[in-house]
Amino acid sequence: RKYCSSIESILHQVLSVVKQEIFLFNPSSGASQTIQTMGPSEYIQKRIASATNEEEAAMYRNLADLQNRKLWHQLTEELLSLLRAKRISKQLQFYSDFISTFAEKLNGVAFAKIVKIIARNESASPSEGIAFLNPHLEPKSVIMGNPEAQILLMSECATLYLKNEDRATARKMLDKARDIMDTFDILENDTQASFYAAAADYHKVVGTAADFYKNALLFLAYCEFETLSKAERLHWALDLGVAALVGEDVYTFGELLLHQVIRDLEGTENAWLMHLLEAFDRGNLSRFDQICSESAAQMNA
């Protein structure tokens, strides 16, 4: 009995230490670091005290109030808005000391969006993003209890693996996500947009133009197009236009030509691509040849 009591005392001490420290990835240096943690209420009070203005302090007081009142949906929406706008600084620390303490209370898909935003905001490289997100795909994580959340996070990880030039792992992630998608009749538009964007990125990298074209159109069908920046729209328009022209088994451009994304090329130095697609879609070969002749310099730039 005395022996058991000693063991229990040692375990209690070890657990106390573990609760005071967590292992995080340092996005600024690429190295591991030990970060002292505290309770969520104490942490938020520290953020309030160190706020640079009353608006910032009020923001943290509101988050603390929502958490204390267990208004999880309202808290989730507020967190998503603030994190996207980067109004919360040191988001890895904020996740560790505040969000992670009630993660199991949140909707799985919303939680996946939260960690996805933090990874994008705080990671200086794809490897750092992977290091932060991969633990959330472990069997006992909050996200693994929600299949749709898994799709969202696997899609983001696939994109990061592609940026890290690891095509094989990216493909495995996409295949797993696709298998889960096939079990659903209905998914959130944002979930589907995330998957098709990642799939399009993969096919662009491996050079399968027709598959890129198909997945990119599906991405545009499910994404909130108005939220895309002008640069992002032009990026998708150029890639889609080229894929339409060179992709095998792509015989009609009607769906693409009807989409606003390709109309955004009008008035830019790449307007020739839209005009070329229009001529090809109508079977107007003389117009096609004329555009090729007049826009040769832009085509070869």
Q: What is residue 281's predicted lDDT score, i.e. its pLDDT?
A: 87
What residues of the chain score a pLDDT lower than 70? 1-38, 301
User: ∠ CA 70-74-79 to the nearest 5 degrees?
Assistant: 105
Residue 124: what are its φ and ψ, rounded to 5°? -85, -10
Q: What is residue 84's predicted lDDT score, i.e. its pLDDT?
A: 96
Residue 263: what are its φ and ψ, rounded to 5°? -65, -25
Q: What is residue 37's predicted lDDT score, i.e. its pLDDT?
A: 56
Nearest to 159 by CA among 110, 230, 215, 210: 215
